[in-house]
Amino acid sequence: MELKPGLSALVTGGASGIGKALCMALAEKGIFVTIVDFSEKNGMEVKSLVEEENAKFHPVLKFPSAMFIRCDVTDTRELTGAFKKHLATYGGLDICINNAGIGNPVPFYKDQTDGSDSWRHTINVNLMAIIDCTRLAIQTMQVAQKPGVIISMGSASGLYPMYADPIYSASKGGVVLFTRSLVSYKRQGIRINVLCPEFVQTDLASKVGSKFINLMGGYVPMEMVVKGAFQLISDESKAGSCLWITKRRGMEYWPSPLEEAKYLVHSSKARRSSFLFSLNLQIPESFEKLVVHTMSHKFRSATSIVRMPLRLPIKPDHVLVKIIYAGVNASDVNFSSGRYFSGNNKDLGSLLPFDAGFEAVGIIASVGDSVDNLKVGTPVALMTFGSYAEFTMVPSKHILPVARPDPEVVAMLTSGLTASIALEKAAQMVSGEVVLVTAAAGGTGQFAVQLAKIAGNKVVATCGGGEKAKLLRDLGVDRVIDYKAEDIKTVLKKEFPKGVDIIYESVGGEMFDLCLNALAVYGRLVVIGMISQYQGEEGWKPLNYTGICEKLLAKSQTVAGFFLVQYSQLWQQHLDRLFHLFSLGKLKVAIDPKRFLGLHSVADAVEYLHSGKSIGKVVVCIDPTFSQQIAKL
Ligand code: NAP
């Protein structure tokens, strides 16, 4: 909903604190406001201020641009009257903000009474009245046949305990879950959301010690609360959403989609079974998978499709996953050539045949007897060998629950996690530095440029071609160097004479040399890969880099290696972060538009990635019929 002149809003507790700030911010947009509050003096004052603002937008009006209605929100009769008056005056209700709230007057642990004059009243104001206001707002919007947005004021203490005021915490916790449970009103166009700030400097928070407030990072500025409310109003996708605002971390939605996925696994039987039901998941007697039968970096001739019986029941601690999308990686050719096993003392030939592919998303099709934390129908991601297959059997501890089995999630696995963990751990990235990313429009490069940007760095990116350059500019890269149009070395020398602080390097060979020469004093170059070396006629031939020690010593530089498999303990945490950024719209995921359907297309997809033409992440849809069903859900 666009916040524009002529809309109308009703704000309870609008005479002071956050309510007053919201009334004023709405008035600054030319929105008519009904202030519902107990305090007549303050309420009338806010009414005049709102009128003053509104006069700038509506010089002549036949009705008041603001109303103050004295009302005790715990009195349902008075409250009903307020909503009726608003409807009669403005002909509808576009925005309702249920803001009135109080702290508990007597600490619960000192209260010897039955709570009639203390905690029962707090619950009545903070929770019962919000339920009542929500009910009346929905009714008003339905009567006017004009849907709108309802925002209830929760609190961070509705998300986690507030030991000093358990009653306040309980009431706000109720508001949060009440609101989140109302998501279905979205079907009628009515969006109901909850806003949960930590301490904001108002009378309500004045009783809390400054030491504690400082510990929490200080007061949340009022502008942030207004910004949060406006985001919930204007973003049409937000319904049943809970926006948590802290000084420490800014604005975040609660719970993160990944957390929500975990929660749904455990308790949302209905949704889970409907997911499964609509997918019509059947376990066949046999399935196909791609195996490496000959060690070679030539993926097509190294692999073949084999059919295997699907033996049930599965091992007690394993799950069976129906794979929907598998991710394609530059390293698929290193895997098929046996390079990943070169540390293994065994005769490499004895390992053949082995399963190909190492990342996918899908749906759990069956669980072993001892698995109690995962259920059939759960969407999951996995990063285990053998994901170029229709089904795979995996120990349950390797399963990463996800919100949806989509291509974007596949991209966040090897490609996204490599960028996220390598920049943090190997590159020691903070902010305010210059970060160079090579092969930046590829699977992992696209994540590296965005994460470096989000962290507050200046980002330089190399790529080959105009279309890739456009993608990188769209992703916010400060300086894109299309090496087909410009010479990388010349640009870096001219525009970054002091050198580059961090280099995320995945091309190798001459590019590595060039990057090392462009590294600043104290610079960190992270070796992510050497894609230019993987596909030589005879496979990967290691190179010598003459004088590397002298170069590093002279400028206190670091060259660090990074291999994702050694960081498995961080996968879940970083995947959670990537998904969170993605769901906030702060991180984009580019999927190459070329469609690869079925296991037979995997070799085409691997060759396509190595052709240098791909843009973003290359993904194979293992079961197109299944993916169509998923897309409809
Ligand atoms: P990708 O970046 O999507 O690979 C495709 C891009 O690489 C191409 O568009 C091209 O980009 C460049 N390229 C392809 N062949 C090349 C060649 N022969 N010479 C020079 N450039 C070439 O692939 P990815 O799967 O995300 O992998 C990228 C790199 O990251 C690889 O080196 C891979 O091994 C590494 N990686 C490492 C880890 C780890 O744990 N260390 C994990 C994942 C990936 P431009 O022409 O636009 O530059």
* 276, part of any domain: no
Q: What is the CATH number of the domain that holds 425?
A: 3.40.50.720
Q: Are residues 378 and 483 in the same domain?
A: no
Taking every pair of Cα atoms in the chain, the longest distance, rounded to a whole number of angstroms, is 90
Under 8 Å between Cβ of 568 and 534: no
Q: How does residue 344 score in pLDDT terms, banded at 50, 70 and 90?
A: low
* More confident site: 245 or 268: 245
Shared domain check, 167 and 30: yes
Cβ-contact 464, 486 below 8 angstroms: no
User: What pLDDT was estimated at residue 266?
Assistant: 38
- Do residue 217 and residue 86 come from a single domain? yes
pLDDT at 629: 64
Amino acid at 485: A
Residue 3 inside a domain? The answer is no
Residue whose CA is at the smallest distance from ligand 1 atom 1: 442
> What atom of ligand 1 comes closest to residue 439's alpha carbon?
48
**Alpha-carbon distance values, 627 to 117, 325, 388 (Å):** 58, 8, 15
Centre a 10 Å sphere on the Cβ of residue 301 and count the other Cβ atoms it contains.
12
Domain boundary among 228, 261, 294: 261
- Say yes or no: 388 and 443 in one domain: no
Judge if 371 and 300 occupy the same domain.
yes
Give the Cα separation of 167 and 172 in Å (integer).
9
The domain of 488 spans 414-583
**pLDDT, tens only, 462-511:** 999 999 999 999 999 999 999 999 999 999 999 999 999 999 999 999 99
- Check whether residue 385 and residue 242 sit in a common domain: no
90 located within any domain: yes
What CATH number has the domain bearing residue 311? Answer: 3.90.180.10
Check if 92 has its Cβ closer than 6 Å to any atom of ligand 1: no
With respect to residue 535, please indicate whether it lies within any of the assigned structural domains: yes
CA of 507 to the centre of ligand 1 (A): 6
The answer on 295 and 254 residing in a single domain is: no
Helix (H, G, I), strand (E, B) or coil at 9: strand
CA distances from 469 to 446, 480, 530 (A): 11, 6, 21
Ligand 1 centroid to Cα of residue 613, in Å, is 11
What are 188-218's pLDDT values in tens digits? 899 999 999 998 887 766 676 777 777 777 8
Is pLDDT above 60 for 267?
no
Are 578 and 624 in the same domain? Answer: no
Q: Which of 506, 513, 515, 563 to mutate to test the pocket of ligand 1 (most atoms within 8 A of CB)?
A: 506
Q: Are residues 250 and 292 in the same domain?
A: no
Q: Are residues 122 and 162 in the same domain?
A: yes
Is 150 in the same domain as 177? Answer: yes
DSSP annotation of 264? H
CB of 531 sitting under 6 A from ligand 1 = yes
Cβ(390)–Cβ(288) below 8 Å? yes
What string of DSSP letters covers 116-176? Answer: TTTHHHHHIIIIIHHHHHHHHHHHHHHHHT---EEEEE--GGGTS--TT-HHHHHHHHHHH
Q: What is the DSSP string of 62-111?
A: SS-SEEEEE--TT-HHHHHHHHHHHHHHHSS-SEEEE------SS-GGG-
Residues sharing a CB contact under 8 Å with residue 101, sequence separation 6 or more, in sequence order: 13, 125, 126, 153, 155, 171, 172, 204
| 17 is a domain residue | yes
Distance 531 CA to ligand 1 centre (A): 5
**Count of domains for the chain:** 3
Residue 489 tokens read as 């070395």
Q: Cα–Cα distance between 616 and 447 in angstroms, integer?
A: 9
Query: 219 and 305: one domain?
Result: no
| Ligand 1 pocket, residue 444 CB under 6 Å | yes
